[in-house]
């Protein structure tokens, strides 16, 4: 074993790159030709030799080095690699010092923002600023217990916003998992309270699925006495059953009336940011009835880029509320039939009345259904089947509107 006096006198012999002076337990003092002295511990993990540095002598005294050696050997005895533990501590040291819920959440938000749609980003920010920051923002996230978070979520439930309460918990869970990943918190506490929330059963968009009642609605729509732009959009909504925003923002450049095809750019679809930037466009085959409606509309709005522009400006599409209000004037409120509900109407009757393959229907709805191998199918698949289906659907709506007996079509 070394003495402090021996450590002071230790030198590296001339011609050598370094000299080692052993103490005990695998620790030694390494001396360089320039005279610097450094403590090391030599040990083995799974047969591989490793070294752990304790610092320079005399800054780290002999006694301090032995204390560090004993601590490292205890770590090894407990099954840990002292070098790996040292690396983890260094990583923790590089983590920003602000460990409050507020600081952690804002850092997580900034990291994810680029990959979110603007709508999703606004919703996440609202969840944080309205329902989490006022009550947990200044707290160290590692010290927040599940019962405290539950009390915050209960506030949301008390105002009757059960769906929001579940979304706020989801947001909190993402923040906590980021906190765990960045060594700010030992674990995610949000799963502990998930079962304590009041159940929320989401409301579906109102949709008529009874063939006779749908026929009545189609007749009423065809008798709409409002402006030709709204009338055309209202007629196309049940025929094409795309999302209301995709329909009302439609541009003439997207339509190939000769080829009977509507190509909706990926940027206008309901997708992730990456899907909007790099995804394929959504193809909507146009039945002859839809082509006829669009040809009649073109002399009216064809001078504009938009098919369905509003009254105040030819450069702005009709608003979200326009078709909803038109249905209401016809006696169909949002609790009976919504514009978005035409998607559910088509999905139900195409399968139950016309016997269409659900995969073909889902492809037309632009839903990312996965196949048996777990891969999301390409939305351009089934185009031939979808073309047949869309014409059958439009013909079916004509028969319902005329009150004729509905003929079952061959499934596609």
Residue 263, φ and ψ in degrees, nearest 5:
-110, 105
343 counts as catalytic: yes
Query: Could you say which DSSP state residue 129 is in?
Result: I
Q: Which of 166, 248, 343, 379 is catalytic?
A: 343
Q: Which residues pair with 48 in a beta bridge?
A: 45
Query: What is the spatial order of strands in the sheet that 37-45 belongs to?
Result: 19-22, 27-31, 37-45, 48-57
277 counts as catalytic: yes
Q: Which of 277, 295, 314, 316 is catalytic?
A: 277
Classify 100 as helix, strand or coil. Answer: strand
Q: What is the DSSP string of 341-360?
A: HHHHHHHHHHHHTS---HHH
385 counts as catalytic: no
Query: Could you say which DSSP state residue 131 is in?
Result: I
282 counts as catalytic: no
Residue with tokens 């059958």: 392
Distance between CA atoms of residues 334 and 385, nearest Å: 32
Q: Which of 243, 248, 347, 385 is catalytic?
A: 243
Q: Which of 282, 340, 347, 385 is catalytic?
A: 340
Distance between CA atoms of residues 319 and 169, nearest Å: 32
Q: Which of 120, 271, 377, 399 is catalytic?
A: 377
Long-range pairs for 317-322 at CB < 8 Å and ≥24 separation?
Answer: 317/248, 317/249, 318/229, 318/230, 318/233, 318/248, 319/248, 320/244, 320/245, 320/248, 322/230, 322/233, 322/248
CB 357 within 8 A of CB 371: no
340 counts as catalytic: yes
377 counts as catalytic: yes
Q: Which residues are catalytic?
A: 243, 277, 340, 343, 367, 377
């Amino acid at each position: 074993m070394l003495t402090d006096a021996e450590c002071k006198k230790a030198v590296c012999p001339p011609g050598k790159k370094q000299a080692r002076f052993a103490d005990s337990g695998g620790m030694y003092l390494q001396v360089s030709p320039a005279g610097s002295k450094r403590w090391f511990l030599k040990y083995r993990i799974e047969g591989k030799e490793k070294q752990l540095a304790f610092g320079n002598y005399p800054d780290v005294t002999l006694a301090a080095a032995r204390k560090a050696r004993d601590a490292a050997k205890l770590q090894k005895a407990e099954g840990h690699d002292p070098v790996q533990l040292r690396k983890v501590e260094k990583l923790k040291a590089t983590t920003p010092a602000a460990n409050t819920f507020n600081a952690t959440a804002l850092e997580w938000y900034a990291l994810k923002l680029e990959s979110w749609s603007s709508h999703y980003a606004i919703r996440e920010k609202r969840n944080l600023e309205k329902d989490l920051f006022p009550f947990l923002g200044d707290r160290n996230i590692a010290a927040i217990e599940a019962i405290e978070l539950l009390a915050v979520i209960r506030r949301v439930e008390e105002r009757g916003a059960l769906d929001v309460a579940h979304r706020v918990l989801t947001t909190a869970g993402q923040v906590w998992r980021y906190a765990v990943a960045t060594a700010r918190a030992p674990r995610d506490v949000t799963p502990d309270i998930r079962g304590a929330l009041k159940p929320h059963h989401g409301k579906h968009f109102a949709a008529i699925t009874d063939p006779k009642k749908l026929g009545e609605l189609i007749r009423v729509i065809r008798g709409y006495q409002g402006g030709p732009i709204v009338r055309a959009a209202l007629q196309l909504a049940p025929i094409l059953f795309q999302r209301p925003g995709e329909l009302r923002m439609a541009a003439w450049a997207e339509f190939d009336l000769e080829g009977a095809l509507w190509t909706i750019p990926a940027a206008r679809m309901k997708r992730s940011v990456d899907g909007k930037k790099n995804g394929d466009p959504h193809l909507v085959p146009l039945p002859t009835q839809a082509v006829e409606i669009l040809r009649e509309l073109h002399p009216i709005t064809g001078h504009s880029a938009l098919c369905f522009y509003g009254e105040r400006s030819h450069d702005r599409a009709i608003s979200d509320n326009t078709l909803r209000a038109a249905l209401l004037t016809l006696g169909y409120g949002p609790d009976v039939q919504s514009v978005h509900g035409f998607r559910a109407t088509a999905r139900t009757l195409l399968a139950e009345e016309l016997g269409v393959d659900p995969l073909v229907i889902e492809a037309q709805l632009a839903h990312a259904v996965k196949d048996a191998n777990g891969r999301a199918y390409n939305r351009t698949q089934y185009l031939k089947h979808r073309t047949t289906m869309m014409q059958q659907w439009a013909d079916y709506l004509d028969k319902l509107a005329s009150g004729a007996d509905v003929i079952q079509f061959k499934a596609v």
